[in-house]
Amino acid sequence: MSHKSSNTVWHMPNINRKDRELLHRHKSAVLWFTGLSGSGKSTLAHAIEAYLYELDISTYVLDGDNIRQGLCGDLGFSDVDRVENIRRIGEVAKLLTDAGVLTITAFISPFKSDRAEVKKRFAKQDFIEVYCQCPIEVCMVRDVKGLYKKALSGEIKQFTGISSPYEAPEQADLVIDTSALSLDDSVQAVLNLLRDRQLIV
């Protein structure tokens, strides 16, 4: 399905991504955190942002709950709506990357095909997939919002990991076992990857 308007033409900007990266004094990319609810995606994403802020890196976290307060507030949790949710996030992440910002996303993004479609929008070096791997039993213990309990009781329909599938990445750039690693160690693992990719020093 195409989402392009037939009545518009892409306008080439006078200032491009390379110009903006020079202004920010660092390269841009997207860090895409995926994993079950309660796997630690948002906690890790915001901890990474705090660290990068101290390094004067321009960042922005696109967080699942926050995005559904506005941009994706019209979407539910059916498979169709989940696909559209991730498509929109991918487009926003692409715009922020073009703006020279190191963009961090924290979404369950349960379907491999959706993540693959987003990845296709980026150059290979610009899309870094981080899988927050965590047993669902641990995620349930961490569930401060009680979502798993509601899903198990049938109060929440199509909940990932219970009544809707989560398709784990097979070739993530980084896999972090958030049930075993501390937050600090998880942060360091991501930072080491960013250094390897020469996004930070």
CA torsion 183-188-190-191 (nearest 10°) is: 140
**Looking at residue 164, what DSSP letter applies?**
B
Q: Which residue, among 81, 85, 94, 78, has the nearest Cα to 63 in the 3D structure?
A: 85
Q: Are 137 and 38 in contact (CB under 8 A)?
A: no
| Catalytic-residue membership of 109 | yes
Neighbours of 191 (CB within 10 A): 16
C-alpha–C-alpha distance, residues 11 and 136, integer Å: 46
Active site residue: 109, 153, 164, 182, which one? 109
Q: What tokens does 40 get?
A: 């630690």
Strands across the sheet containing 29-34: 59-63, 102-106, 29-34, 127-133, 174-177
Active site positions, annotated? 109
